[in-house]
Amino acid sequence: MTALRIKTLSFSVALAVCSAIHAPASTTVVSPGNMDGWTFYSTDSSGTVGTGTAITGMVNGPATPPLGTGSAHLETGAGAGDGSAQLRNSDWSGTSLSNLTTLSYSTYATAWNGSQLPWLRLYVAFNGDVNYDDRLVFEPVYSSSTAGNGDPAPQADVALNTWQNWNVLTGMVYSDIDGGPGSDAETFAQYLINHPTATIVEDNGQGIGGIRLTAGLASASDNFNTYVDNFSIGTADGTTTYDFELTVPEPTSISLGIVGLLLLSSRKLRKNRVA
pLDDT in tens, 61-97: 999 999 999 999 999 999 999 999 999 999 999 999 9
> Where is pLDDT greater, at 236 or 150?
236
Shared domain for 11 and 120, answered yes or no, is: no
Over range 223-251, report the average pLDDT: 94
Shared domain for 210 and 147, answered yes or no, is: yes
Shared domain for 269 and 208, answered yes or no, is: no
Mind listing the pLDDT tens digit for each residue in 186-218? 999 999 999 999 999 999 999 999 999 999 999
Mind listing the pLDDT tens digit for each residue in 18-30? 333 433 548 999 9
Instruction: Please name the helix (run of DSSP H) or strand (run of DSSP E) that holds residue 14, with its range, or none.
Output: helix 3-22
pLDDT at 10 over 90: no
Task: Note whether 58 and 246 are within 8 A (CB).
Answer: yes
Mind listing the pLDDT tens digit for each residue in 153-194? 999 999 999 999 999 999 999 999 998 898 889 999 999 999
> Where is pLDDT greater, at 151 or 102?
102
Shared domain for 146 and 76, answered yes or no, is: yes
Over range 253-266, report the average pLDDT: 42
Task: Note whether 239 and 232 are within 8 A (CB).
Answer: yes
The DSSP result for 115-140, as a single string, is: S---EEEEEEESSSSSS-SEEEEE-G
Domain total for the chain?
Answer: 2
Task: Note whether 262 and 10 are within 8 A (CB).
Answer: yes
The DSSP result for 183-220, as a single string, is: GG-EEHHHHHHH-TT-EE--BTTTTB-SEEEEEE-S-T
Shared domain for 177 and 54, answered yes or no, is: yes
pLDDT at 256 over 70: no
Task: Tell me the three state secondary structure of residue 231.
Answer: strand
Shared domain for 258 and 200, answered yes or no, is: no
Count the neighbouring beta carbons within 10 Å of the beta carbon of residue 124. Answer: 23
Range of the domain at 62: 32-247
For position 150, which CATH number holds? Answer: 2.60.120.200
pLDDT at 260 over 70: no
Task: Note whether 124 and 134 are within 8 A (CB).
Answer: yes
Task: Note whether 142 and 174 are within 8 A (CB).
Answer: yes
Shared domain for 126 and 180, answered yes or no, is: yes
Shared domain for 16 and 124, answered yes or no, is: no
pTM > 0.85: no
Shared domain for 53 and 168, answered yes or no, is: yes
pLDDT at 15 over 70: no
Shared domain for 163 and 189, answered yes or no, is: yes
Residue 105 CB contacts under 8 Å (≥ 6 apart), including other chains: 118, 120, 165, 166, 168, 213, 228, 229, 230, 231, 232
Q: Picking from 70-74, 117-121, 148-152, which range would have the lowest pLDDT averaged per residue?
A: 148-152
Which 8-state DSSP code applies to residue 5? Answer: H
Please state, for a pLDDT cut of 70, what percent of the chain lies above it.
82
Task: Tell me the three state secondary structure of residue 256.
Answer: helix
Shared domain for 196 and 63, answered yes or no, is: yes
Could you give the CA distance from residue 243 to residue 36 in angstroms, rounded to a whole number?
Answer: 11
Could you give the CA distance from residue 225 to residue 107 in angstroms, rounded to a whole number?
Answer: 11
Shared domain for 131 and 9, answered yes or no, is: no
